[in-house]
Amino acid sequence: MRMYDIIMKKRNGGELSKEEIDFFIEQYTKDDIPDYQVSALMMAIYFQKMTEAETLALTMAMAKSGDMLDLSAIEGIKVDKHSTGGVGDKTTLALTPMVAACGIPVAKMSGRGLGHTGGTIDKLESFEGFSTGISTEQFVENVNEIGIAIMGQTADLAPADKKLYALRDVTATVDNMSLIASSIMSKKLAAGADAIVLDVKTGSGAFMKTEEDSFALAKEMVQIGNNAGRKTIAVISDMDQPLGMAVGNALEVEEAIATLRGEGPADFTKLVMTLGVQMLIAGGKACDEEEAGKMLEGVIADGSALKKLAQFVEAQGGNPAAVYDTSLLPKASIVREIKAPATGYINRITCDEIGICSLMLGGGRETKESEIDLAVGLVLQKKMGDFVKEGDALALIHANDEAKCEAATKRFLQAYTITDANIQKLPLIRGILK
């Protein structure tokens, strides 16, 4: 088999066989095919697209290019959850203890944040001493003992995707639906769960800005997952404004804890419940949405979801007392109101700009090596459709540096559009695909 022939076949609109896809992924992972040939193939795929069979073959080849996590030592149906990322997305922090308290074993790999969206691991490190650097054996043991563990992504999880994604990033071939779907799903399949619930975001703070693209991506990922024998469900949810009120690591942890006490913001609570319902049904713990909803409400009302979070934090070296006393989480030295410059309705919030404000305060990473400040961020006081009077607080800014506080405040004010006429609000949940 020759890479040249594979490139030409795709360039001419042909369908690559599983053998041809396996060949190029195997050889590329071993550095036996040069970047320039793979770049040419990616560009050919970009223009000629891939069939369902090709997309599945590429996903499986990338999943198998490194470690495939074996979770068979964990009893029960393992249901993973994945978000395509967004601003204020602290969903894992509240959702996983809730479903674990309902009996779904949670064995999850999470990542760190880069750019304007935060990562679950960074947020969890707001608990002093917490670590996701545990061995696979410890990971499995924790899930068997307390029902939940989260570890960092191992370096050898879908290494072919890592190489390919970096190459696509510099050759203008990222934004092809099948390539994105196979990239995300290769990591999910390698992570070993029996079922996968995807939270696909849509809007100005999301990877996919339009609903049409978000549905298309969701459809491809669901198809791949189901074709690979893992029950896969996608929830398409709004990311045209930050999720909940808090943006910033420890601030988001605090909001997730409030949600586990039943005191979370309405939009965030609704998303967590919607995803939780799908996870309980996929994991065979509930027959229908009504039963699943009642189970989730039950573990909030009786405190068992909050207790599960405390057990999980303690099992991974963190201070569980902070779950019950959030004053123990990192705190910023400056907390100040950002005031509305005019009276009217909040017509638009440029969502990714709010993420960038948190980044400017030190709450995110500009580069992989950046140190992050866990305490800083923003707590919104007004969201889209709300009425404000001039001088009312739009947000509370939490900062540890005066100059950064000032710069982020200026940028924050540019992200809010206040108008006389109100907008028509779109629903948080745009659809569910199975």
Binding residues for ligand URA, per CB under 6 A? 165, 174, 179-180, 183-184, 207
- Least separation in angstroms between CB 180 and ligand URA: 4
Q: Which member of 183, 186, 204, 237 is catalytic?
A: 183
CA-nearest of 189, 197, 192, 193 to 282 is 197
Of 179 and 277, CB closest to ligand URA: 179
Of 24 and 207, CB closest to ligand URA: 207
In degrees, rounded to 5, the angle at the alpha carbon of residue 86 between the alpha carbons of residues 122 and 96 is 60
Answer yes or no: 168 catalytic: yes
Answer yes or no: 288 catalytic: no
Place of tokens 């990311």: 239
Q: What is the maximum span of the chain, computed from C-alpha positions, in angstroms?
A: 69
In whole angstroms, give the CA distance from residue 205 to residue 240. 6
- Give the pair of three-digit tokens for residue 324: 């019950």
Tell me the β-bridge partners of 432. 235
Answer yes or no: 67 catalytic: no
Answer yes or no: 82 catalytic: yes
- Least separation in angstroms between CB 83 and ligand URA: 11
310 burial type by CB count under 10 A (0-12 exposed, 13-18 middle, 19+ buried): buried
Helix ranges, 283-319 (H): 289-301, 304-315
- Least separation in angstroms between CB 221 and ligand URA: 11
Of 85 and 264, CB closest to ligand URA: 85
- Least separation in angstroms between CB 365 and ligand URA: 16
Q: Which member of 80, 122, 161, 267 is catalytic?
A: 161
Q: Which member of 64, 90, 108, 187 is catalytic?
A: 187
Q: Which member of 10, 82, 108, 308 is catalytic?
A: 82
Of 198 and 256, CB closest to ligand URA: 198
Q: Which member of 162, 163, 168, 201 is catalytic?
A: 168
- Least separation in angstroms between CB 174 and ligand URA: 6
- Give the pair of three-digit tokens for residue 244: 């909940």
CB neighbours of 410 closer than 8 A, spacing ≥ 6? none
Q: Do 221 and 181 meet the contact criterion of CB atoms below 8 Å apart?
A: yes
By annotation, the residues acting in catalysis are 82, 161, 168, 183, 187
